[in-house]
Chain A
């Protein structure tokens, strides 16, 4: 088989695979609709405010509910020491501005 044919088959099979993943994404979104509704209902019923992404510290578990001194709340010399601190920005409630400058 010609090299160009092998290449074109590779590219087209990838595109077909990518389209199949697109279909998978669409299908999964439909499948997940009741699960999303279940989670939404749970949030409404229990008045939840946060996702359970990081459970290592209280202020990473409930990002929106943490107080304004979270990085220091566990110990007076405790700087931000949990690895998830490197993934997150401080809660938006800590960054209130008087005017939008950007």
Chain B
């Protein structure tokens, strides 16, 4: 069982600080020179324990701009789902009412 605060990055509300708990490997490689999603995420500074916050989303449901330990990285929601995060402060959004 994961704690109720653990959720995939694409579901993390914007402007809420969280910590990365796990980086999944994502889908299988499709081409020889193509790195796995995990390789790419690790290369850009995603790692267990890193502080993370969703800052922006591109127009029309576009990619997310995520701050990982001070570095701003763009990735699509579908890939962000491979990153599991835990909110560092308990969260209740007055707008969403959750």
Tell me if chain B binds chain A.
no
Chain B residues proximal to chain A, CB less than 8 Å = none
Chain A residues proximal to chain B, CB less than 8 Å = none
